[in-house]
Structure 1
Amino acid sequence: MMSRRKLRILSVASIIDPTGRYGGMPIVAYYQAKHLSKLGHEVLFLTAHSRRVLKIQEIREPAAPALLARHGLILSPTAYANLILKSRTINDYYDIIHMHDARDLLSVSLLLSREKTPSWNVPIIIQPHGSLFFGGKLTILKKIYDAAFLSRLVAGVDFWIASTYDEVLSILRLGVGRENIATIPNGVDEEAILGCSSSTKLHMSSRGIILYLGRIHASKRIEILIKAMRHVVNINRDATLLIAGQDEGEWHRLTRLVRRLSLEENVKYMGFVSEEMKYKLMKTAKAVVIPKFHCTALTVLEALALNRPLITTYESDRLEENLEKLITRVGNSPEEVAAAIEKMLKSEVDENGIREYILEVYSWRSIAERLENLYFKLLNGG
């Protein structure tokens, strides 16, 4: 059995930002690296946000957003040529390469550098983070990318990490063997959760607060929730839906729906909120509703850790069996979502709930330990 020596891990992610402004993948990559570093390993980032390799120790919370604020891929041929030239150094220095996102040109450039390095011996792991999902405005671009790179991606990657059963199926459809896939969910920030007390709640009226927290994107099916609120307010006129998250071009359409249903007083958009405000909103809400999510949505784990009821539909990815028992799933009709919300509004929130279980199994520390075990298994030929 290989001893638990210090590993040198290269984490490849086009965006590194723990604020949530760019979705879940940058958060997951950041917290995985942070807690692997706490386990004694050296973790460095290769990111399109910086021309150099970024050490996890150099990220100062909350300074990271200021350091890595710009979104987007760097499409410079010079940058990729430079990476290929450095491939021998990468191969000689690192023990494990962990790539985030299956449709990312930064990851592809690293695989191309592997092809040009016959002596390459560093295992490459890829974690898609839902990027294998087809849909939305970029479907055509995804198909073009797949035609150009997907077969090389499958051939060049040694191991895959899925966060849900549905993502396992997506990877299997690529022709990857089941023995080359591990299921490791996302995690929750234990320190932040334990820092939330009953006083964390917002001083709002006693109206029933329903919360959607996440990206404002067509794939999230937020319109189902807004239509459900039309039914909810017929019974509970004071019920309020708070929608918080980064708008990705969808809120303009949703605003028209809110007006058409005359819900201006019952549906409020709060924009992108800070980490502190996020937890305050969760503690204030009677329930958190996410109509559709891919992977193990971070909001799901955070809501459960704060003992908030979580409602979703059968369109969302299936979670680990023990998590499935803790959430409420309904059909994707507004009527079914409304019925689930009405039930939660009538119930008292159990403030003791399942926090200890979530923090024990799904803290980032626990997730980092599962990753560490996987890394050593691969390096040991397992």
Structure 2
Amino acid sequence: MKILHVVTLHTPDHAFGGPTRVAFNLSRVQRAAGDDARVMALGDGFPGGELPGQVEGVPVHLFQARHLLPMFEVSGITSAALLNTARRMMRGADLVHVHLMRDLVTLPAALLALATRTPLVVQTHGMIDPTEKKVAQLTDLLGVRKVLREADAVLHLTEMERVDVNAVAAPVPLTRTVRLVNGVRPQERKPAREPGRPPTVLYLARIQKRKRPEDFVAAMPHVLVRHPDARFVLAGPDTGALAGTLALARKLGVADSLDHVGPLEHDEVLAADRAADVYVLPAIEEPFPVSVLEAMSVGTPVVITRTCGQAPDVAGAGSGRVIDSRVGEDAANARKVADAILELLEPEAAEQAGKAAWELVNEQFTIEAVTATLRRTYEDVVRRRRG
């Protein structure tokens, strides 16, 4: 099967995060199974403007991002060459899989798929929900509703996301929705922390306000009281919150215990997860982060908030700690993060949660299981089109 994945942006530091990572993960497994899966996206930030033709073994069709509407950041970039090539490639594709957001890349690509009558699967990654923003409402009116209503399948991560996309598509109910979680490759489980080794606590995600890296740093003084030799690692591309986060560390007097390592390649991500004793993501309203699954895949317990997509799974399996976190309650949030970290640094709790994390990923969130579900969805879409 010839499959064209369309996602908004790929950069050397992986600043766009989840949707691009999912597109590459799915494409790799699909190609290993014999499909001709490819990824099309904008490229930006590459040295000398040299855009790669392959990423992680997956053929990519990248086009230099044009910042048409800079005030809208990633939603305001586009490329006429990408859209022209997409139209041509769709005519030879069996199916187009668009990782949809309100932007000038994936939304026009989805509309092109409808116009060329190419079977269309849409995955929204928690990015399409009801909003009071006038520009977003206009975008919904001009194209998003049409795409959601006419796509052959709409993929959602959680029940909340299914409700949200239906609200955007209203009053027409969506009847072809499919739950598809994110998945990762199974990994060997790491050994327990050796007695006497200083603990390591990891934040690995985009450093942006919504993911609340400040809560990670604000938890440090409480943890350092019990573990004065603990190391805290802040990893990931800066998307606006790094300066404030580092300033907070200096203000709290914990900068010497914090290692800022910047963005990491995929192999480096897994190495950082293995080196960590606890992974922390205090984000508010996080759909279903791959970074949480990657940490658990090697047996590292996690601390996440109740609004994270994996919260019910983590709580049910005991693979970490799920905390309440509220905007405007910084001191209380930091204390909750710290208490959860301290619990998971206890040897018995660490062993139990680490084992549960590794088993949870292997039982429910392998990329092979995810792509098997997706393959059945693709086949159903193509069969219905032929019928």
TMscore range, shorter length:
0.7 to 0.9
Partner amino acid, structure 1, of 2:56: E
CA contact (8 A) 2:28 2:57 kept: no
Q: 1:346 to 1:134 in 2, by over 3 A?
A: farther
Distance 1:18 1:38 in 2: 24
Letter in 2 for 1:61: E
Q: Which of these residues, 373, 378, 382, is aligned with residue 376 of structure 2?
A: 373
Q: Check the 8 A contact 2:123/2:156 in 1, yes or no.
A: yes
**Secondary structure at the counterpart of residue 255 of structure 2:** coil
Output the CA distance in 2 between the equivalents of 1:369 and 1:244. 32
In structure 2, C-alpha distance between the alignment counterparts of 1:247 and 1:69, rounded to whole Å = 23
The reply on whether 1:227 has 2:230 as its aligned counterpart is: no
* CA offsets 1:257-280 (integer angstroms, 9 cap, x no match): 112211112222111123333222
Map Cα deviations across residues 137-190 of structure 1 (whole Å, 9 max, x no partner): xx6764553354323333342321112233222212213635321111111123
Maintained 8 Å contact 2:23/2:39: no
Where do 5+ consecutive residues of structure 1 fail to align? 1-6, 51-57
1:329 to 308, 322, 332: 322
The number of residue pairs the alignment matches comes to: 353
Match of 2:364 among 344, 361, 364: 361
Question: Which is strand-richer, 1 or 2?
Answer: 2
What is the DSSP-based 3-state SS (H/G/I as helix, E as strand, rest coil) of the residue aligned with 2:146? helix
Q: 1:319 to 1:208 in 2, by over 3 A?
A: closer
Q: CA separation of 1:79/1:352 partners in 2, compared to 1, >3 Å: closer, same or farther? A: closer
Shift of 1:323: 7.1
> What amino acid is aligned across from residue 337 of structure 1 in structure 2?
V
Summarize deviations over 1:7-29 as a string: whole Å, max 9, x none.
22221123357974431211110
Tell me the residue number matched to 1:27. 21
What is the 5 A alignment of 1:267-306?
A: 267-292=258-283, 294-306=286-298
**Which residue is 1:95 aligned to?**
94
Within the candidate set 299, 304, 312, 2:304 is matched to: 312
Moved more, 236-245 or 125-134: 125-134
Question: Which residue number corresponds to residue 155 of structure 1?
Answer: 149
Partner of 2:26: helix, strand, or coil? helix
Tell me how far apart the structure 2 counterparts of residues 275 and 147 of structure 1 sit (CA, whole Å): 38
Give the equivalent residue in structure 2 for 1:262: 253
The offset of 1:355, in angstroms, is 2.8
The 8 Å contact of residues 273 and 279 in structure 2, kept in 1 or not, is answered as: yes
SS of corresponding position for 2:273: helix
Distance (Å, rounded) in 2 between the aligned partners of 1:97 and 1:215? 28
Of 4, 7, 12, 1:13 maps to: 7
Aligned AA (2:208): H
1:124 aligns with 2:123: no
Any idea what SS the aligned residue of 2:372 has? helix
Between 1 and 2, higher relative CO (CA 8 Å, sep ≥ 6) is seen in: 1
Aligned mates of 2:292, 2:111 — CA distance in 1: 36
AA paired with 1:109? P
Give the conservation status (yes or no) of the 8 Å contact 1:24–1:297.
yes
Q: Is the alpha carbon distance of 1:380 and 1:224 closer, same or farther for their aligned partners in structure 2, counting shifts above 3 Å?
A: same
Q: Following the alignment from structure 2 to structure 1, what is the Cα–Cα distance between the partners of residues 110 and 265?
A: 36
TM-score (norm 2): 0.78
Deviation at 1:75, TM superposition (A): 3.0
One-letter amino acid of the structure 2 residue matched with residue 43 of structure 1 = A
Of the structure 1 ranges 212-221 and 337-346, higher mean CA displacement relative to structure 2 is found in: 337-346
Percent identity, aligned pairs only, is 21
Deviation, 1:212, is 0.6
Aligned residue number for residue 179 of structure 2: 183
Go from structure 1 to structure 2 and tell me whether the alpha carbon gap of 1:161 and 1:320 turns closer, same or farther (over 3 Å shift).
farther
Q: Deviations over 1:62-83 (max 9, x none)?
A: 7989x96966676344654565
Aligned residue for 1:15, secondary structure, equals strand
Which deviations, in whole Å up to 9, do the C-alpha atoms of 1:313-346 show, x marking residues without a partner? 1232355647753331112222222111111122
State the shift of 1:31 in Å: 1.3
Question: What is the 5 A alignment of 1:165-176?
Answer: 165-174=159-168, 175=170
CA contact (8 A) 1:16 1:30 kept: no
- Give the CA RMSD over aligned residues: 3.5
